[in-house]
Structure 1
């Protein structure tokens, strides 16, 4: 059995990480898993969401025996990452957390914003990152209920208006004591798909920190030496928990080099 690298997200956002992972690890088979049946997961009550994630990964790991797991979702990892590592000590987990540390290292003005889902904004994990790495900065946390859905619509070719996007990001821009926000952390893997739109509508230029490359580099450190690469390239696959029969989705995934598995999966039967 060829053991894949499993990349998990609630929807399409983790494709930003998959793209970088394939570039850095071109011979590793990739299995993309989207829990789209639960999307958007940021609106779930935390106890129910954690229970769902633990049960889902129990089935996924048993069915697919991944050599490593990337949780390409800030909400999922900050909520359940520690429990998942405890439950599966033999599986390396690469997590996604808001890129607050590099933002604090790179800012010139000392004004940073973190654009995230409401779940990530209210999580104690996020606050502890600020206390540990950005205590000398003014960090504004901005939670959006809609941006992940807007990113999914944008990626699928649906219209998303500039005004709707600006409403969700405008609180990120702060002027204080003659200084302006100069770095915005994209603390959801969906958001980089909208980054070019953000640049066009932003009231002034800022750096938008995309975590995808850093996540992929950590994955490379995890699997690069410990696991030999596959001798031959096999087709990368995708599983969506809603088990959709959607030709448009299949075409979109094909553009990312993925084949959508349909008709049930050992993880969800």
Structure 2
């Protein structure tokens, strides 16, 4: 059994996977003030909820876009399972040919998503990850990561809107009953969800136009299941994409 973790700006995603079986995926709040011991206790509590003990875990792998706490979580994990976890980054084989101007700047979560998507879907690929930021990654027909786009995530953009508009309030993200909202809350929901769906449809069109060929599109992340059904393009939702990618990279570096 493999313990996999992705440290994001908002959440630390924790899961256990063995072969094709995903035992669980849970989210903890990313807290830059937590100590190594506090993270170890948090991870231990999650494992115990699912009846998993530290000695049941064969190994661990971590991807992170929050450098300030990467080492804290790595040390906490080693304390818990008594084995050094692998961390996605320089020195770890991924099998991904990155064609960016500065490959080292590519977020490890985007690397992991691309590795998983390439293992399960035909190229060229568009990979959408909807978290704190909504990222769009492009893998061409030669299996090269050629670049992508970054835009504010739905919750990030909505929080900014609410904090700067005195008469607007926080909303949940279930779709409104109709596109054209008839009250402030439904107008905000429609703008957030349908607006992002339209943005994704438009980006897919433009990417395919630039590449000159059709692409397989895969989406993952916390709000993908809310937005993708509102898109006009065919998009496959896979909320286990990151977990699968981490497992593939771990196996490449045994």
Would the TM-score normalized by the shorter structure come out above 0.5?
no
TM-score, with length taken from structure 1? 0.41
TM-score, with length taken from structure 2? 0.43
Higher RCO (C-alpha under 8 Å, 6+ residues apart): 1
